[in-house]
């Protein structure tokens, strides 16, 4: 899997790295780890993203290590552009046009179930718990140990994308990698504080305001949060902050899916989806041009909030019905098999 990529790295001098809009821990961590690995091999690297680094991940990056896209964009004599942790071209936001216009070799490294990004080389593994796991694999396949400088962003990426090593493909391999990263000298308690314990009083008040708007749907199996455009426009709530809101309703007993709607502009609504396995929300988001995992996904609909709610909840309802029918069929078949077995006895 790695031979072609290693040859491309060995033969190139300058590389460009980018990732998806509203970058999460896996996106930022994977970029920083890959960039530092490449620089350690004498390469020149630029990380240019469509959006800024969220404040809780900023501690991993040095000043100027990650840039936000500005125009005009310098094309440069790149040997290749790496597109990390991105399953759909739309998820590149403002960087999509830049990447598409660059006449250079394009490399995708990703772990999403569906990947529609066009590239000359695609390394996509749904068996990996995160894109960072694949970056770790590249480094080890290149015969190198992972030092503390690279271990830090890799650890943060794995920790956040698996939801503290609980979901999204967490397995024995995940923990073996984490063990190796910790041996580089990381302090997990300190990292946890930096990532998860930096909320301000104002942020908590905003979360409280958002949670008062939670509604129950489909007999309590779905929690719905709606944030009108006025909240975003007034600065009361930022798009980055809303990304963290979905984790709270999932703690409600019986809730299996959380849907967050917020208007990013007039007639344009972003939808955040989180699930515990009952419905493949990644498939739902991809259908409308978004992307993500089966348990965590997002999409932007060119529709006002009310219309977006009608579309998404309608499809979730249909998916839940199909699951119920499937469960009844399996249950019925199991009962039938049991009766046949009893008769034979």
SS3 257: strand
> Among 64-68, 74-78, 93-97, 105-109, whose mean pLDDT is lowest?
74-78
Cα–Cα separations (whole angstroms), residue 338 to 216, 330, 331, 342, 345? 38, 12, 11, 6, 11
pLDDT of amino acid 312: 96
CA distance 117 to 107: 10
pLDDT tier for residue 337 given thresholds of 50, 70 and 90:
low
Residue 327 has a pLDDT of: 52
List, in sequence order, the alpha helices (H) in 125-200.
131-141, 148-161, 172-182, 188-196
> In the predicted model, what is the mean pLDDT of the chain?
89
Is the confidence at residue 34, as pLDDT, over 90?
A: yes
| Local confidence band at 235 (pLDDT 50, 70, 90 cut-offs) | low
Per-residue CA distances from 325 to 1, 322, 332 (Å): 40, 5, 10
d(CA 317, CA 312): 9
pLDDT in tens, 43-62: 999 999 999 999 899 999 99
Model pLDDT, residue 244? 76
* Pairwise CA distance, residues 62 & 52, whole Å: 14
**Which tokens hold the place of 299?**
């999409």
pLDDT in tens, 105-125: 999 999 988 888 999 999 999
- The DSSP output letter for 82 is E
The whole-angstrom distance between residue 225's C-alpha and the CA centroid of its chain comes to 20
- Report how far residue 27's alpha carbon sits from residue 15's, in angstroms, rounded to the nearest whole number: 17
pTM for the whole thing? Answer: 0.85
167 burial type by CB count under 10 A (0-12 exposed, 13-18 middle, 19+ buried): middle
Confidence tier at 336 by pLDDT (50, 70, 90): very low
Q: What is the pLDDT of residues 315-334, one digit of tens each?
A: 999 999 987 765 555 554 55
Q: Which of 16-25, 47-56, 145-154, 315-324 has the lowest mean pLDDT?
A: 315-324
Band of residue 344 on the pLDDT scale cut at 50, 70, 90? low
Say what the pLDDT of residue 111 is.
93
Say if residue 341 is exposed, middle or buried (CB neighbours under 10 Å; 0-12, 13-18, 19+).
exposed
Domains in the chain, CATH or no CATH each: 3-196 (3.90.1640.10), 201-328 (3.10.310.30)
Is the preceding omega at residue 142 within 30 degrees of 0, hence cis? Answer: no
Take residue 102 and report the two structure tokens written for it: 């660059």
What's the CA gap between 278 and 256, in Å, rounded?
A: 7
φ/ψ (deg, to 5) at 16 = -110, 135
Average pLDDT of span 71-100:
89
**Tell me: the pLDDT tens digits for 257-273?**
999 998 888 899 999 99
Give tens-digit pLDDT for 238-254: 666 777 788 889 899 99
Centroid of chain to Cα 90: 14
Token reading at 148? 């503390």
Q: Which residues of 132-155 are buried (b: 16+ CB within 10 A; e: fewer)?
A: bbbbbbbbeeeeeebeebbbbbbb
The region of weakest confidence among 101-110, 162-171, 219-228, 267-276 is 162-171
Is the pLDDT at 227 greater than 80? The verdict is: yes
Among left, alpha and beta (phi > 0; psi -120 to 50; other), residue 314 is alpha
């Amino acid at each position: 899997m790695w031979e072609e990529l290693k040859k491309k790295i060995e033969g190139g001098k300058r590389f460009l790295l980018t990732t998806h809009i509203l970058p999460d821990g896996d996106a930022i961590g994977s970029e920083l780890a890959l960039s530092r690995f490449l620089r350690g091999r004498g390469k020149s690297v630029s990380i240019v993203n469509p959006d800024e680094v969220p404040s809780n991940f900023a501690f991993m990056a040095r000043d100027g290590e990650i840039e936000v896209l500005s125009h005009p964009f310098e094309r440069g004599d790149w040997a290749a552009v790496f597109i990390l942790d991105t399953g759909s071209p739309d998820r590149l936001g403002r960087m999509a046009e830049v990447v598409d216009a660059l006449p250079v070799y394009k490399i995708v490294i990703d772990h999403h179930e569906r990947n529609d990004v066009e590239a000359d080389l695609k390394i996509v593994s749904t068996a990996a718990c995160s894109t960072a796991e694949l970056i770790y694999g590249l480094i080890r396949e290149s015969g190198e140990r992972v030092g503390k400088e690279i271990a830090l962003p890799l650890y943060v990426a794995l920790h956040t994308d698996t939801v503290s090593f609980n979901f999204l493909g967490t397995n024995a391999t995940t923990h073996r990698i984490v063990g190796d990263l910790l041996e580089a000298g990381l302090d997990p308690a300190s990292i946890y504080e930096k990532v998860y314990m930096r909320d301000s009083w104002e942020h908590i008040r905003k979360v409280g305001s958002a949670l008062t708007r939670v509604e129950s749907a489909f007999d309590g199996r779905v929690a719905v949060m709606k944030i009108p455009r006025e909240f975003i426009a007034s600065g009361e709530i930022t798009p980055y902050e809303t990304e963290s809101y979905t984790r709270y309703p999932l703690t409600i007993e019986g809730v299996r899916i959380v849907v967050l709607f917020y208007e990013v502009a007039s007639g344009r609504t972003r939808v955040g989806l989180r699930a515990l396995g009952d419905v493949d929300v990644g498939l739902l988001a991809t259908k409308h041009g978004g992307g993500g995992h089966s348990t965590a996904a997002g999409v932007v609909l060119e529709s006002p909030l009310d219309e977006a709610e009608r579309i998404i909840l309608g499809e979730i309802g249909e998916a839940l019905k199909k699951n119920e029918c499937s469960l009844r069929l399996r249950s019925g078949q199991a009962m039938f098999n049991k009766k046949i077995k009893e008769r034979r006895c």
